[in-house]
């Protein structure tokens, strides 16, 4: 989000540079109105944008683990993606560990096999579903492999994320769904 502040400052600076360069050809009354509008808008948005952050679903899901189950391990489910998974900011979870990431290439069957081969202390206790797209089918697919999985909570995107998504639907605006696995391995 700090890049937005840079854009605001650069835009204001650029506006004044253009003003002085083309001073003789500018309608001064219109420019004065524009200047008041831009500066007022920047002064209103600057404090709001300065203290907010985007990608809230990623940070807050890790904070949830820090507050509720600090030493829990988890795996990530993002099967809407082909080959990659969003890397969680583990700093906010309070500890670092390797996470399993389920996508279209690394399937739920692969994850089940990997979990069965892990030592009990390394097994994930939770799964985080990034994005709400196809969530029912994704949860059902994982429940076939982990039948004791239960819903815990949903982490919503921030107001800034929702606003940016409204302005540009290509901007990522994800929810995080946390489920407890309740593993009982043979």
pLDDT tens digits, one per residue of 5-54 = 777 788 878 877 877 787 777 777 887 888 888 888 888 878 877 777 77
Domain assignment of residue 111, yes or no: yes
Domain assignment of residue 116, yes or no: yes
End-to-end CA distance of the chain: 47
pLDDT tens digits, one per residue of 117-135 = 988 888 899 999 988 888 9
Q: Does 91 lie in the same domain as 40?
A: no
- The residues pairing with 150 across neighbouring beta strands, listed in sequence order, are 180
User: For the chain, how many residues are written?
Assistant: 186
Name the phi and psi angles at 94, rounded to 5. 95, -5
Asked if residue 84 lies in contact with residue 105, where contact means CB atoms within 8 angstroms, the answer is: no
**Mean of per-residue pLDDT scores for the chain:** 84
Percent of the chain with pLDDT over 90: 18
Domain assignment of residue 186, yes or no: no
Asked if residue 153 lies in contact with residue 176, where contact means CB atoms within 8 angstroms, the answer is: no
The model's pTM is 0.73
Range of the domain at 21: 2-50
Domain tally for the chain?
A: 2
Q: Does 65 lie in the same domain as 40?
A: no
């Amino acid at each position: 989000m700090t890049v937005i502040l840079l854009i605001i400052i650069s835009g204001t600076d650029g506006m004044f540079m253009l003003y002085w360069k083309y001073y003789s050809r500018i309608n001064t009354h219109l420019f004065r109105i524009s200047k008041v509008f831009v500066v007022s808008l920047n002064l209103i948005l600057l404090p709001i944008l300065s203290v907010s952050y985007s990608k809230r679903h990623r940070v807050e899901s890790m904070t949830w683990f820090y507050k509720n189950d600090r030493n829990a391990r988890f795996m990530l489910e993002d099967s809407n993606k082909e080959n990659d998974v969003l890397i969680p900011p583990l700093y906010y979870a309070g500890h670092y560990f390797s996470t399993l990431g389920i996508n279209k290439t690394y399937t739920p069957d692969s994850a089940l096999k990997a979990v069965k081969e892990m030592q009990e202390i390394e097994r994930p206790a939770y799964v985080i579903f990034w994005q709400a797209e196809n969530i029912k089918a994704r949860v059902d697919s994982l429940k076939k492999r982990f039948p004791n999985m239960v819903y815990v909570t949903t982490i919503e995107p921030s107001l800034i994320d929702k606003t940016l998504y409204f302005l540009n639907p290509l901007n990522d605006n994800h929810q995080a769904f946390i489920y407890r696995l309740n593993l009982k391995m043979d």
